[in-house]
Chains A and B, each alone.
Chain A
């Protein structure tokens, strides 16, 4: 690429090029907006800076090639170039800033108001007056975006793999640009049979093949039915949601009791509840397996729901107790003297006030139940088997189906993302809690 002799696979080069453009393109607008300039100017500047630093990066790689050769570790080369490029990008941004009419010292940049600002000669707020604060914001944004991008690499990689063909998925060096195919998804969702050459020839003659049949035919396979994956995903959904609802509901009631009433041996009970979390779950899988077999709970939805509820309960009691403790008692007492029963007061006052805590607990409980692997592997076989232990079983015969695994993981990721995103407003604990205290 770029006619340079670079000791790295194509992918990394493309990736880092995009990476820098991304950083430039996202941080610069943030800075510009803070300074009251139009966002498009920031995007433009960021783009330019990104491209420049991308090129700088290429040059750096060439320069660093001997280093990478010496330590025999291309990763080190990448690491060093990331750091150097980050510094360069900041210098470049700072330099570009001189060409834009910026807010001078003592000119207030008030985020809340928007638009050009009237000059203020005095303020006790350092962030209003000191222009270096803006650079701090820029650096902060850069770091955040870098971390976000770095932590998203595996997810993006998984998403890409899900759409790769079997050959592309295992290609070395990895392919960044490839021809997307639904092969992974189809092999995830279907059962197939390997065809002989004669059969392939015969199949090719047929007119009644659906698009997915044709995709698979290219691999010499015929679809003979649905796979279990959808069923497993549905099991996961049922078990995770029911156990989440149960553990949050029970946890809320018990946390309320712990928070509001004098309970004999309260401290000991709370510690006992917590102690159920002290053992690594794997340690108790075998005893639980034996118990479940005796009780007929092995491979049942009820069994898994009970288990996850029990495991999440300790967590939800503790978490919710903290949230309920922060709701002033007077709130309910006011409702009590106003003529409500305790249950009504709980429903009308405590529930709306504890919504942040309930949301947080719901997300955490759901994620635990959704992701749990060890118990699900041991205690289910078919009827109640959840998605996590079934994804590796897609591995298949005749080579690992990486595309199918990636597709399965992607589908597995979606519900958690949906739950977390739909509750994210309530997860901003600080924001809501300020309001409660003031009330």
Chain B
């Protein structure tokens, strides 16, 4: 299939820097998700890879070939649009056959390939109707079929599930994932839905403000966010981020609330902060255990989420800590509790650079 390489690729719309120079290598058969809030440049990046948008600078290498200035039709790439972009004046069959006709395939080949891909996506029964009468899920299947039928080097998908109902979205997510595994096709997938990104991506590229914030596996971006933005953006709710001051192995969070830093962090923090300094303590809700020791807080609210309970703990009247607890846990509002953190899941951030403080791993 294909390897896609972006070298210092950037895009400007007049004065607006839509994508600041970025480097990214997408390996053969990889499922890479571009994730970020709307307007962060992820769709522009995808469109530059497809050739629908010309780059302002940098190079795009596809399978070792420089395609920076190649016409979209010369890139052997399929694009799936958010609103399907099915042609309403053609039947489903004609829609799927459309890219094959561009390649000048014989009628027989077209018929075969359309039948094949229709079977794969289970849309054989709608081949002769117009897209207007299809359900959202079926339309998306047709759009996928149109992309698949060409057997392109890579798939680019721009929020393909964004226009679907929640119910269909789950189903289609699984179908796209299954297709990816079966076809082993290089896929670049754009979404603003982090659950989708976590569920589908081999790697996630988190973008914000036209800049790539972090590239990593779902586990990496979740557990080891590179900066405050990623920490906050990934997860629902995001990481708890509490300002404090570090000194001598303890982070002072509030008057009378301090967190003793786990031993394996002390040397790193001492070094980075030169013994003392402001720091941001970060931890996921599931790192919190409510117990009889640890830091004091009062219960602000509790939400039952079915499988678990989300506790909102008021820390000194200024900050809310989200904590995940078993579903049987329930505290009346205002209860004074104490909580501890799982040492392995604690992270520290520099409040000035907003970057994560990386712990030196001593062998």
Which residues of A sit under 8 angstroms from B52, Cβ to Cβ? 333, 336-337
B83 in the interface (beta carbon within 8 A): yes
Determine whether the beta carbon of B83 is less than 8 Å from that of A341. no
- With A435-B132, A438-B132, A439-B132 in contact, do A337 and B77 touch (Cβ < 8 Å)? yes
Determine whether the beta carbon of A337 is less than 8 Å from that of B88. no
B119 in the interface (beta carbon within 8 A): no
Determine whether the beta carbon of B103 is less than 8 Å from that of A339. yes
B227 in the interface (beta carbon within 8 A): no
A267 in the interface (beta carbon within 8 A): no
B86 in the interface (beta carbon within 8 A): yes
Which residues of B sit under 8 angstroms from A439, Cβ to Cβ? 84, 86-89, 130-132
Give the docked Cα–Cα distance between A198 and B148 (Å): 91
Give the docked Cα–Cα distance between A209 and B130 (Å): 63
A157 in the interface (beta carbon within 8 A): no
**Residue in contact with A338 in the complex, picked from B51, B88, B98, B130, CB distance below 8 Å:** B98
B65 in the interface (beta carbon within 8 A): no
Determine whether the beta carbon of A340 is less than 8 Å from that of B73. yes
Give the docked Cα–Cα distance between A336 and B47 (Å): 12
Determine whether the beta carbon of B73 is less than 8 Å from that of A337. yes
B265 in the interface (beta carbon within 8 A): no
A353 in the interface (beta carbon within 8 A): yes
Determine whether the beta carbon of A352 is less than 8 Å from that of B79. no
With both beta carbons as reference points, the residue of chain A lying nearest to B53 in the complex is identified as A333
- With A330-B85, A349-B87 in contact, do A341 and B132 touch (Cβ < 8 Å)? no
Residue among B72, B77, B103, B156 with most chain A CB within 10 A: B72
- With A340-B73, A435-B132, A439-B131 in contact, do A334 and B81 touch (Cβ < 8 Å)? yes
Question: Using a Cβ cutoff of 8 Å, how many contacts connect chains A and B?
Answer: 73
Chain A stretch 400-439: residues in CB contact (< 8 A) with chain B: 435-436, 438-439
Residue among A336, A341, A348, A436 with most chain B CB within 10 A: A336
With both beta carbons as reference points, the residue of chain B lying nearest to A332 in the complex is identified as B85
- With A338-B99, A338-B146, A439-B132 in contact, do A333 and B85 touch (Cβ < 8 Å)? yes
B150 in the interface (beta carbon within 8 A): yes
Which residues of A sit under 8 angstroms from B84, Cβ to Cβ? 439
Determine whether the beta carbon of A353 is less than 8 Å from that of B73. no
Give the docked Cα–Cα distance between A435 and B156 (Å): 26
Determine whether the beta carbon of A333 is less than 8 Å from that of B132. no
Proximity bits, B299-313, A CB within 8 Å = 1, else 0: 000000000000000
B71 in the interface (beta carbon within 8 A): yes
A281 in the interface (beta carbon within 8 A): no
Which residues of B sit under 8 angstroms from A333, Cβ to Cβ? 50, 52, 72, 79, 81, 85
Which residues of A sit under 8 angstroms from B72, Cβ to Cβ? 333, 336-337
Give the docked Cα–Cα distance between A338 and B103 (Å): 9
A328 in the interface (beta carbon within 8 A): yes
Determine whether the beta carbon of A341 is less than 8 Å from that of B79. no
- What count of chain B residues pass the 8 Å CB interface test? 28
Which residues of B sit under 8 angstroms from A106, Cβ to Cβ? none
How far is the CB of B31 from the nearest CB of chain A, in Å? 19
Which residues of B sit under 8 angstroms from A348, Cβ to Cβ? 98
Determine whether the beta carbon of B88 is less than 8 Å from that of A353. yes
B55 in the interface (beta carbon within 8 A): no
Determine whether the beta carbon of B102 is less than 8 Å from that of A435. no
Which residues of A sit under 8 angstroms from B81, Cβ to Cβ? 330, 333-334
A272 in the interface (beta carbon within 8 A): no
How far is the CB of A106 from the nearest CB of chain B, in Å? 31
B78 in the interface (beta carbon within 8 A): yes
Determine whether the beta carbon of A337 is less than 8 Å from that of B50. yes
Which residues of B sit under 8 angstroms from A337, Cβ to Cβ? 50-52, 72-73, 75, 77-79, 156
How far is the CB of A349 from the nearest CB of chain B, in Å? 6
How far is the CB of B13 from the nearest CB of chain A, in Å? 9
How far is the CB of B158 from the nearest CB of chain A, in Å? 9
Proximity bits, B310-330, A CB within 8 Å = 1, else 0: 000000000000000000000
Determine whether the beta carbon of A339 is less than 8 Å from that of B88. no
Which residues of A sit under 8 angstroms from B103, Cβ to Cβ? 339
How far is the CB of A82 from the nearest CB of chain B, in Å? 45
Determine whether the beta carbon of A340 is less than 8 Å from that of B102. yes
How far is the CB of B51 from the nearest CB of chain A, in Å? 7
Determine whether the beta carbon of B83 is less than 8 Å from that of A338. no
Determine whether the beta carbon of A338 is less than 8 Å from that of B150. yes
Give the docked Cα–Cα distance between A366 and B293 (Å): 87
With both beta carbons as reference points, the residue of chain A lying nearest to B81 in the complex is identified as A330
With both beta carbons as reference points, the residue of chain B lying nearest to A331 in the complex is identified as B85
Which residues of B sit under 8 angstroms from A331, Cβ to Cβ? 85, 87
Chain A stretch 333-360: residues in CB contact (< 8 A) with chain B: 333-341, 344, 348-349, 352-353
Which residues of A sit under 8 angstroms from B73, Cβ to Cβ? 336-341
- With A334-B79, A337-B50 in contact, do A328 and B89 touch (Cβ < 8 Å)? no
Give the docked Cα–Cα distance between A340 and B98 (Å): 9
Beyond contacts A333-B85, A334-B79, A353-B88: 4 other A-B pairs, Cβ-Cβ < 8 A, are A330-B85, A334-B146, A352-B89, A439-B89
**Contact sample, A vs B, 10 pairs, CB 8 Å cutoff:** A328-B83, A330-B83, A331-B87, A333-B81, A336-B73, A337-B51, A337-B79, A338-B78, A338-B146, A339-B150
Lowest 4 CB-CB distances: which A-B pairs, in order?
A439-B88, A339-B102, A338-B99, A330-B85
